[in-house]
Structure 1
């Protein structure tokens, strides 16, 4: 699963009917045995929230829903969606990646300033959606100019080839005797 820095991420984990009444949890850490619990359910349908993470157990649909909000780059890690049971718990691994938020430049009093992606102050994003079409247009223009040059060269060669013998005829002009 992946999301942008500052955004949110929702993970849904399904389980079989046998586990409906069991406590559900979300923990963090690459190792199953050593992961740290982030949040656990207390009862069905009740959302439990801890800091920027919430968990909800929908027993009708048999779905655990975990939401992580206001994501930070250091939230990227291995997480586990699990069910508490007698003996070893059940769980499934979820890899979470967080991509940096795009940065925009805004002109304020003649000096550039960095603004957040959600800003509505008319900032200009230097994204691929602007740069790629511009580069494509320049390349197409260069291709058209190159094609025109090649076309003219071929046309001149054909013109020269149409003379008798396929070569240019040279005439020597001498003064008339008199």
Structure 2
């Protein structure tokens, strides 16, 4: 049996603290050593948003969750995996864990402006502090989302601000590119859909 006294004991305690420091870093919320994800994501009302969070090998069978709220200790868990790769959906939010790739994906559907908030990608740990990383989600306003057929990709898209088509004023229109902006109106064309946003 080893015995320590005096300065020897202090030295042992000091070395113990240095050895534990890397382990403490691993369980700090937001630590890049275990789980990583985007700092910020954004999308528009009525659409859907996807967030992918990666984790280190060894955490495959742990439960993953998506939580809402700026304060880590009191955030509201919206959806949690079931330790498998099955997708879990609750209300407008779903989560799926790809354990072979060590990444879990969160999808938020039918987005609203009030969904703008701070969220967390997290890993549940029984008997210890959960792991998590913060993700800021911003949802912008949409004036309209218009769909068109495959023959109309190269045609000009435009947004008119009056009820009468024959006399309305064009607020914004594309000019060969996929995006255009004029004053407060912004138009974005992608996947046979163009979205008009009215910005503050």
TM-score by length of 2: 0.55
Tell me the C-alpha RMSD between the 2 structures.
2.5
> Quick check: 1:117 aligned with 2:184?
no
Runs of 4+ in 1 over 4 A off after TM superposition: 130-135
Quote the offset at 1:129 in angstroms.
Answer: 3.5
Once residues 10 and 65 of structure 1 are traced to their aligned partners in structure 2, the CA distance between those partners, rounded to angstroms, is 7
**Structure 1: gaps of 5 or more residues:** 104-115, 136-178
Larger radius of gyration: 1
TM-score by length of 1: 0.61
Alignment of 1:61-80 (within 5 A): 61-80=101-120
> Quick check: 1:99 aligned with 2:140?
yes
Report the equivalent of 2:53: 13
User: 1:96-140 CA distances to partner (integer Å, 9 max, x unpaired)?
Assistant: 000101x2xxxxxxxxxxxx42366xx9514544597999xxxxx
Once residues 79 and 117 of structure 2 are traced to their aligned partners in structure 1, the CA distance between those partners, rounded to angstroms, is 16
Alignment of 1:47-86 (within 5 A): 47-85=87-125, 86=127
Structure in which a larger fraction of residues adopt helix? 1
Look up the SS of the partner of 1:17 in the other structure.
coil
Report the equivalent of 2:130: 89
Once residues 112 and 181 of structure 2 are traced to their aligned partners in structure 1, the CA distance between those partners, rounded to angstroms, is 31
Structure in which a larger fraction of residues adopt strand? 2
Q: When the two structures are aligned, how many residues end up with a matched partner?
A: 120
> Quick check: 1:22 aligned with 2:62?
yes
Report the equivalent of 1:35: 75
Once residues 54 and 111 of structure 2 are traced to their aligned partners in structure 1, the CA distance between those partners, rounded to angstroms, is 24
